[in-house]
Structure 1
Amino acid sequence: MNPNELVVAPAGDRWGVSAGCELLALAGTERDAQRLAAEAAKILRASGSDARVVVRDEPRSFAPRED
């Protein structure tokens, strides 16, 4: 994973923004986490780095529930 790849992914009951294996920030909603990541990528690009935002969806299972 590229360290300048900012990943937005579920983190418990919130959404996290991480770079590499390090969690950088938490947000209450996916949309807020995407905004944080976009702003961080913009700052990285302004400093001469290459950065991109990747959004990972919530894992979902369509297997029948075993109750």
Structure 2
Amino acid sequence: MSRNDLIVARAGERWGVSAGRELLAVAETKRDARRLAGEAAKILRASGGESKVVVKGERRTFKPD
């Protein structure tokens, strides 16, 4: 089984968990998305695969609107 990185990043107003370019799940908060990705990674590792959770930072700008 190949390595599966689960990526936690903004998905509009919510937080998404994706693998590659495919969005797998959406959560209301970053914390919930991290928890979901962590559980999924644990299941993937238990089935013999490799997996880690990558959390993408939010883009921030200090320019006036």
> What is the TM-score normalised by the length of structure 1?
0.89
Task: Quote the offset at 1:57 in angstroms.
Answer: 1.2
Q: Aligned residue for 1:10? A: 10
Q: Aligned residue for 2:30? A: 30
Q: Aligned residue for 1:43? A: 43
Which structure would you say has the larger Rg? 1
Letter aligned with residue 16 of structure 2: G
Name the SS of the counterpart of 1:36 in structure 2: helix
Q: Which structure 1 residue ranges, 4+ long, deviate > 4 Å from structure 2?
A: none
> What is the TM-score normalised by the length of structure 2?
0.92
Q: Give the strand-richer structure, 1 or 2.
A: 2
Name the SS of the counterpart of 2:31 in structure 1: helix
Task: Quote the offset at 1:48 in angstroms.
Answer: 0.3
Identical columns (%): 64
Ranges in structure 2 where 5+ consecutive residues have no aligned partner: none
Ranges in structure 1 where 5+ consecutive residues have no aligned partner: none
Q: How many residues align?
A: 64
